[in-house]
Structure 1
């Protein structure tokens, strides 16, 4: 009886409430997309990797804001299913699918050519597509597949669409990174597989560091153009990104799901960077999963490293051979 008395309210109630409060605090964001009044009527947006997870939630939100929403997906079947779902949920008929595999530079070029041919403007580009858990492999183009999908493909895509973004100002580039960038290494030899970072996690972490470095250098090169570029972390989110891992890892991931954000919650920081008034005019920055400005790792703030990575990426994607406009000289105070 004494034991029953101890377990009766309020102690038993507190034992139930504490985990619930912990989960609520972890998932809560001070900025909520549904409270943002931004209207994108007459604007065009592209979201890569938009057939599932965070990308689909971002595309859903932008379509609700009346944007012409282009889902850039690798799978025709899954991409078209997402298009139909978003059209039905938002009532926006201007939601379309365009095939894109960021792991293939040829696919990136074909996609960009179609966009430049068919679209008169581009107001927001969301580089969301990404993978983890893929084995080390060299593509037919001589590039390592994870680094190409997560970093080099988006790098090329953004550069090919820059003129259209500049013609549509104010415009935004949003690069989805991760808090795990802080333990990554930005070695350009990883891009061609000359060196291997040492595992699935290490490869993913390094691509996310490269995303932040790319964002910083892109913002520097775009100063004064009216196009902003920012990177962000969505937080720890329950999505299908772990599908390439072994079943024990996926099982552990499933056990931890109650402590993770949903895809919809994880999309908040991406949507914040894409449409919020608070982010307007901010460029070259990194936002955390609570939509707050955060200081990225020391490596991510290395301007010399960012320029070196950019130059290597230009060579590997062939942008230098295309007569890509030269970079502005670095500011004296920004030399690393």
Structure 2
């Protein structure tokens, strides 16, 4: 990864931080994002102290499209190339929250943020090609359903249902992006990191999380092991040119039947483009 520039979103903790650290140790120049300036700067200091090289810090709440657009502008202004974009940021909220733009938080952060950021940085990725887009999904995608009549959970919200839908959306986005990038040297793949011991969902956990996570934590993967597939998809020479895949434990996997529905993928892309202002209604 020497000389390559890698963007990692949500890099101040958990899998994102471990991904950034691992890629830095391979020689990558990093651009990391976080919501809090002090925490993001501290992460950068830790990466440099561990032997990493250049680490650029960008601060934004990616659930806010206004902040995300500012972030993209700042990145395009300071990063002459982007070889890899790791869409890692995500979260779980048991109760419904609205973003600054009035969108449901889970859908906005887990799906619309990677959708919009990727599209805003796509020209720079293509200019830097061969380049890669890596999106962190989850095996929860298998339980996901895209409810086009209630994407925002306005009528009937469930934290688990919103999360599962967003992780299926990650795959529909990745597969559609891969199709749209055919003939270019930019690839798009998604992954399941495994059940990892992090603070994921701690802001607003559901009852099942409160009950089972403490029991399961001793059996969960470390953050470093959870980041292994993200690092592999970002760096492995063996995956050069491989696109439109879903990976777990470092190997390609079949995802749910719904994730391969091209009509749903195109419909979700078009709806997302409107919701993010990339196209008008």
TM-score normalised by length of structure 1: 0.80
Query: d(CA) in 1 for partners of 2:50 and 2:29?
Result: 15
Q: Which residue of structure 1 aligns with residue 246 of structure 2? A: 286
Deviation beyond 4 Å, 4+ runs, structure 1: none
Ranges in structure 1 where 5+ consecutive residues have no aligned partner: 1-39, 323-336
- RMSD value over aligned CA atoms? 1.7
Whether 1:72 aligns to 2:20 is: no
Aligned residues of 1:231 and 1:286 also touching (Cα < 8 A): yes
Structure 1 residues 307 and 195, CA gap change in structure 2 (3 angstroms): farther
Matches within 5 A, 1:168-179: 168-179=128-139
Which piece of structure 1 moves more, 275-284 or 103-112? 275-284
What's the offset of the Cα at 1:137?
2.1
Given the alignment, which residue of 39, 42, 47 partners 2:8?
Answer: 47
| Residues paired across the two proteins, number | 280
Q: Which residue of structure 1 aligns with residue 67 of structure 2? A: 107
Aligned residues of 2:130 and 2:186 also touching (Cα < 8 A): yes
Q: Which residue of structure 2 aligns with residue 255 of structure 1? A: 215
Whether 1:302 aligns to 2:276 is: no
Query: d(CA) in 2 for partners of 1:251 and 1:90?
Result: 39
Query: d(CA) in 1 for partners of 2:99 and 2:202?
Result: 20
TM-score normalised by length of structure 2: 0.95
Query: Secondary structure at the residue paired with 2:80?
Result: coil
Query: d(CA) in 2 for partners of 1:195 and 1:112?
Result: 33
Which piece of structure 1 moves more, 262-271 or 238-247? 238-247
Aligned residues of 2:191 and 2:230 also touching (Cα < 8 A): yes
Q: Which residue of structure 2 aligns with residue 133 of structure 1? A: 93
- What whole-Å deviation, never above 9, does each CA across 1:103-133 have from its counterpart, x for those lacking one? 1000110000111111110000000001113
Query: Secondary structure at the residue paired with 1:138?
Result: coil
Query: d(CA) in 2 for partners of 1:180 and 1:130?
Result: 13
Matches within 5 A, 1:315-326: 315-321=274-280
Whether 1:200 aligns to 2:159 is: yes
Query: Secondary structure at the residue paired with 1:60?
Result: helix
Query: Secondary structure at the residue paired with 2:97?
Result: coil
Given the alignment, which residue of 272, 288, 298 partners 2:232?
Answer: 272
What's the offset of the Cα at 1:138?
2.3
Aligned residues of 1:142 and 1:192 also touching (Cα < 8 A): no
Aligned residues of 1:112 and 1:161 also touching (Cα < 8 A): yes
